[in-house]
Each structure stands twice: as structure tokens, then as C-alpha cells.
Amino acid sequence: MARDTSDFRPIEGMDELVAYLSAGNKPREKWRIGTEHEKFPFYVDGNSPVPYGGERGIRALLEGMQKTLGWDPILDAGRVIGLVEPTGQGAISLEPGGQFELSGAPLETIHQTCREGNAHLAQLREIAEPLGIRFLGLGGSPKWTLAETPRMPKSRYAIMTNYMPKVGTKGLDMMYRTCTIQVNLDFASEEDMRRKMQVSLKLQPLSTALFANSPFTDGRPNGLQSWRGDIWADTDNQRSGLLPFCFSPRFGFADYVDWALDVPMYFIIRDGQYHDMTHMTFRQFMDGAARNDLKDGVPTMGDWANHLSTLFPDVRLKRFLEMRGADGGPWRRICALPALWVGLLYDAEALNDAEALTADWTYEEVLAMRTAVPAQGINAPFRNTTLRELGREVLAISRKGLKNRDRKNRDGFDEATFLSTLDEVVSRGTTSAEEMLNAYHTRWGGSIEPVFLEYAY
């Protein structure tokens, strides 16, 4: 999750909130790629979860990374809960259950993204291995119950933990037992944002299917290929999901702001303290609802930025677009996810093709696809075909876009090489989750433990 921000300028009106988003408009030459990935830390001895404290805990891991990287600590009530590169080019943060996240720097090519991910994992291994810690690349925690899962000492997570059971049945699982890979991408204008938002919302279920990688819960098969995808079906539906208003041909920044204003808040920060604000929407906050409760209940632009970071639609709009549909996975997937979306959205010809492919897809059709994917993966139906066949078309478009970009590494390979792990999924007709399930029922002998060897970083 994003680091909470402080911007004390008071909000004057809705126009400022719209302007905050439109300030993300960038000319094509300034478009960048920001990749985030999460992984589950575990002790090699016993494949058990890693708590925050202790000589071999998450805090020790963060402190070791701080010494190695020279990054600045992010503190919450005096406890280190993350690190940030001094010039803001990347950060390491903790998800609620100790999931370790790299929020990568804004980079120009997928080659750079892959090098960044590899360097991070190498640095992490150097610190983690003496502590007896390794990391698991899955979309869902495969073994530990919710009660066995550690809780990180971040103030916002305490507020969310209390709130989630009031608004859905699976919010705590989302917080404590899922991991993702996501990519953050730029737009040039409101129209460019609209086109990219609509294409990526429609194709997000396909991303979930291609990256399906969470078939185990509590040490046994859960009957799904993407448990993480299923969790998002009932986490907090006021702030997550497919956003039907985004399908409108007139969708723009103001529409997203209007939706965000009516979503309940999580918190505001005053004098370093987090205040629970889950009892009001941001619109109510702007109308003065907090002024009797708090000495400084005047909404600020920092409150708005933090509120936007607590919204969880399938594609999230901030000053860039966040692709949020994929399960976490092995290291090759860390490069494949941004490659897929950069190929589709950063080349004009490819974006035209993706837009033409999805132009007449309705909200209801995409919602049905999204609902089917967690259990059926790439075999989920869509119209008269399956997501497997749709995946072939979409990967071909993405490959075209990456080849058109023509960003080659020193060996002369362009970025399309990073799609190979997804090509394997559609060519063999099975997801990573199905491969794991097959292993579980055959060579793993009905045991979950081998996953900690075969899917570890």
C-alpha cells in the first residue's frame, strides 16, 4: 500500500479534487512504468510465518535492508514499518500480514523493471537468509490460518481491521492473506485516461485468469484457481470492483471524484496520529462533519490523497492508473505483468486494437467474466469463446505494442520477451494454479509443504 502523505493545504472545493487527478497528465515522452510486487516471508524451519518483532523478525529484516540500501526509514509510532529511497524513487513497505512489498521506481523500460526486481530480490536474500527467512511468490497464503498470521504495527491497519468485518465477509483475508503484482502507468490527457481505464477494466478479469496463482488455503485446495480474485468479490464493495460508471463514453476525472466522495473514509492524520473516520464519507467530511469531533477537522489535500489510496477498484485512478487484477507469483511474473499492460496501453496502434476488441463489451458481460474467473481461470467463458482464446488475441496485441516500442536490451531483445511466461499459460491451457494442484495430487503426495520450495524466491 502507498505511504500515507501529508499536504496541509485546505480543500476549497471539488474543482481542486478534479485538478489533483488531472495534474497526472503527462506527455508521452514522460510516461513511466512503476511496478509493485508483494511476497510472503516465511521461516525455512517449519515453513512458519514471520512476526514483526524479535531478532529474526520483519523489523530486523527492514533494519538490515536499511543498512544495505541506505534508504530512509518510514516510522509509525516510533516503529520502522517501511523504507523509502531518499529521492522518492522506490519504497519498501509492509502489508498487514507482513507481506513484503517493493514499490519500484518510475522506469522507462521493462528491461529496467526486471533488473530492479532482480536486484531487490538479491539484496533481500542477502539479509533474509542469515535470519532463516525466504519468500513465497503466490497470490494467497497457502498454509497459515488467519489466526496464525502475524499483524504488522501500522496504525491504518488497526482501523481497517476493525472496519472490514462490517462491510464484507473477506476483507481480513484480503488484508492479511493475499499478495499481488501491479503496474502503475501514465496517461496524457483525460481522453487518454478514459481509453486506458476502459480497456484495462474490461481486460482485468483476463489478467486475473492469466496470473491465477492462489489455489490453496489453510493447507489444502480451496476449490479455486484465484482465491485472491474471489476474495475481492466481497471485501468492501463500496470501494472496490468494476465501477460501472467508468464504462460511459463521457467518463472523466470528475466522475471518479464524484464516486470517491461518497465512499466512507478510513482515517485522517493529525499531529502524527491516525483518527478513525470510517463513520463518514469524504463528502460528509468536506461538509463539516468532523469539525465537532476534531480540533482540526478541516479537510486537506493530504487527506484527499490518502483517501484515494484506500479505494480498491480493479483499476485505480490516482495521478496514474494502477492495474490491480493479478495474483502474486514467481519472479518471471514480476516482469510479465508490466509487459502485458505496457504493450496494450503505451503504443498507439496496440491501444487502438485493444479498444476495438473490447469496444462493445458491456459492464454486465465483464462482471460475469470477473465472477467466473476465480474458479475457472482461463477456461472461463466469454460470449462464444473462452478466456484462453481471448488471451491469445490480447497477448498478440500486447506483443505488437512492445515490438512497436522497440526498446531493446544490450543483447538486442525487445520487451516482448517478457510475455513468454503468459504465452506458456495459453499454449498449454493451464494456469499456474492448475499446475500446482496437479503437483499437489501427484508428486507432492497431498502435502502443501513442497510449495515452499518450488515457489520461493
SS (H, E, C) 152-179: CCCHHHHHHHHHHHHHCCCHHHHHHHEC
Q: What is the mean pLDDT of the chain?
A: 96
Asked if residue 236 belongs to a domain, the reply is: yes
Give the CATH number, domain containing residue 347: 3.30.590.20
The structural domain count of the chain equals 1
DSSP 68-126: HH-PEEEEETTEEEEEE-TTSS-EEEE-TT--EEEE---BS-HHHHHHHHHHHHHHHHH
Asked if residue 151 belongs to a domain, the reply is: yes
The letter for the amino acid at 67 is K
Asked if residue 6 belongs to a domain, the reply is: no
Cβ(360)–Cβ(232) below 8 Å: no
Structure confidence by residue, pLDDT tens digits, 280-322: 999 999 999 998 888 888 999 999 999 999 999 999 999 999 9
Asked if residue 2 belongs to a domain, the reply is: no
C-alpha cell read off for 333: 511474473
d(CA 342, CA 54): 41
C-alpha cell read off for 343: 504493450
Give 246's DSSP letter.
Answer: G
d(CA 431, CA 206): 12
- pTM of the predicted protein model: 0.97
Q: CA 120 → CA 25, 85, 124, distances in Å?
A: 30, 13, 6
Q: Give the structural domain span for 417.
A: 14-454
Give 27's DSSP letter.
Answer: -
Asked if residue 252 belongs to a domain, the reply is: yes
Structure confidence by residue, pLDDT tens digits, 105-145: 999 999 999 999 999 999 999 999 999 999 999 999 999 99
The letter for the amino acid at 411 is D
Q: CA 107 → CA 35, 222, 255, 385, distances in Å?
A: 9, 37, 29, 36
Residue-wise pLDDT tens for the chain (457 aa)? 445 666 889 999 999 999 999 999 999 999 999 999 999 999 999 999 999 999 999 999 999 999 999 999 999 999 999 999 999 899 999 999 999 999 999 999 999 999 999 999 999 999 999 999 999 999 999 999 999 999 999 999 999 999 999 999 999 999 999 999 999 999 999 999 999 999 999 999 999 999 999 999 999 999 999 999 999 999 999 999 999 999 999 999 999 999 999 999 999 999 889 999 999 999 999 999 998 888 888 999 999 999 999 999 999 999 999 999 999 999 899 999 999 999 999 999 999 999 999 999 999 999 999 999 999 999 999 999 999 999 999 999 999 999 999 999 999 999 999 999 999 999 999 999 999 999 999 999 999 999 999 999 9
